Amino acid sequence: MRKDSSTCPLAPHFNFCKIAEMPTSISTLDSPVPAGNHSYEACSKLAREHYENFPVGRLVPKKLRPHVHAVYAFARVADDLADEGYADPRLRAADTSAPTEAERLAVFRNYRQAWQKAIDGQEYDPSYAWIFQPLQKTKAELDLPDSLFLDLLSAFEQDIVQRRYEDFPAVLDYCRRSANPIGRLLLLIHGERSTELAQLSDSICTGLQLANFWQDVSVDLGKDRIYIPQIDLRRLGLTEADLFAGTASPNFRNCLRYQMERTWKLFREGEPLSQRLPRPLSWEIRLTWLGGTEILRKIEKLNYDTLSQRPTLSKFDFLQLGLKAFLGQ
């Protein structure tokens, strides 16, 4: 799950100890949540601390917020472990040396194995109990399938080990596991169990993930990640050296235009979702859709040059989009 939520108000409902010198367990760390606090309070605390980037639960009915916060904490910590190797951002700030890929993979797999043990009813690393115990309550109470959580973990681990994608189906498979489970979980938490609604959600979530990829081409290059399919680069006469040069050639613009056409198709397929849901969830889904498509429009206004510029949504943009969502436009 990508941390940048500027394209995705939906995913943020749910876009850390240097491993070489510390155990893979985070139990000995200065944790951002109280040690031994295994209620929903710890998960909600983490969610509230990230409201500025992740507007978690702002429009969610009060009775459902603890469930949303538990899912969010699970995904947030997993994503940070995979992407940064840290479970506490304060430690990241205090130590400038970044964990290696092998170190990040080791600590992430400890988290993934602990969750599998929790699912299987086995004893697991107690440092994760503050997340896993409330999440297991949520999972049981709302009948949330294990597969959605396991898909998320699979995608996060893939982020560590895979930086290139050969074709578009491979990119879509990543989105199926990194983005789509978030939308499905949000629907299930709100009691929406229709297969048709889940499929509409998948279209929006995959579209949002793709919009984030095309928005963040330059950012991902800095991490040696390229989500534009390799087959499309070859077909349009582009090399990786062309991308790293940072100049948007006509071939690059044509390549990104092609990716955008695919993305617009997904957004159009998912657009009816908000009309099928009750308020306030329908407002949030509509805002999500409007936010993602506005990023696509901004990329178009840049003539598909996201190598030298990164389009974002301003506060004014969000105000306008929020009003449109509220009015059902």
- Looking at residue 10, its pLDDT comes to 42
**pTM across the whole model:** 0.84
Number of domains in the chain: 2
Hey, what are 153's tokens? 């973990």
Of the pLDDT bands very low, low, confident and very high (cuts 50, 70, 90), residue 99 is: confident
Q: How many CB atoms lie within 10 A of CB 307?
A: 21
Same structural domain, 230 and 258: yes
Same structural domain, 167 and 152: no
Residue 141 structural domain: 1-161
- How do residues 195-231 score in pLDDT, each as one tens digit? 999 999 999 999 999 999 999 999 999 999 999 999 9
- Answer for the pair 191, 165: CB distance below 8 angstroms, yes or no: no
Count of residues in the chain: 329
Same structural domain, 177 and 306: yes
CA distance 96 to 112: 26
Q: Which amino acid is at 131?
A: I
Please identify which residue in the block is written with the tokens 């189906």.
Answer: 169
Same structural domain, 156 and 224: no
Domain boundary pick from 96, 126, 161: 161
The answer on pLDDT for 236 being more than 70 is yes
Same structural domain, 198 and 113: no
CA distance 184 to 205: 9
Same structural domain, 57 and 174: no
Hey, what are 71's tokens? 């899912």
- How do residues 259-278 score in pLDDT, each as one tens digit? 999 999 999 999 999 999 99
- Looking at residue 12, its pLDDT comes to 41
- Looking at residue 84, its pLDDT comes to 78
Same structural domain, 137 and 245: no
State the chain's mean pLDDT as an integer.
83
Same structural domain, 278 and 150: no
Domain boundary pick from 161, 180, 206: 161
Mean pLDDT of 36-53: 70
Same structural domain, 265 and 221: yes
- C-alpha 212 chain-centroid distance: 10
- How do residues 150-162 score in pLDDT, each as one tens digit? 999 999 999 999 9
Same structural domain, 13 and 155: yes
- Looking at residue 113, its pLDDT comes to 94
Hey, what are 289's tokens? 């859709």
Q: How many CB atoms lie within 10 A of CB 250?
A: 10
Q: Say which CATH number the domain at 170 has.
A: 1.10.600.10
The answer on pLDDT for 149 being more than 50 is yes
Same structural domain, 135 and 226: no
Domain boundary pick from 161, 189, 214: 161
306, 273, 266, 301: which is closest to 287 by C-alpha? 273
The answer on pLDDT for 21 being more than 60 is no
CA distance 306 to 323: 28
Of the pLDDT bands very low, low, confident and very high (cuts 50, 70, 90), residue 57 is: low
Helices and strands in the chain: count of H runs, count of E runs: 15, 0
Same structural domain, 175 and 155: no
Of the pLDDT bands very low, low, confident and very high (cuts 50, 70, 90), residue 7 is: very low
- Which residue spans within the chain are E strands per DSSP? none
- Looking at residue 154, its pLDDT comes to 96
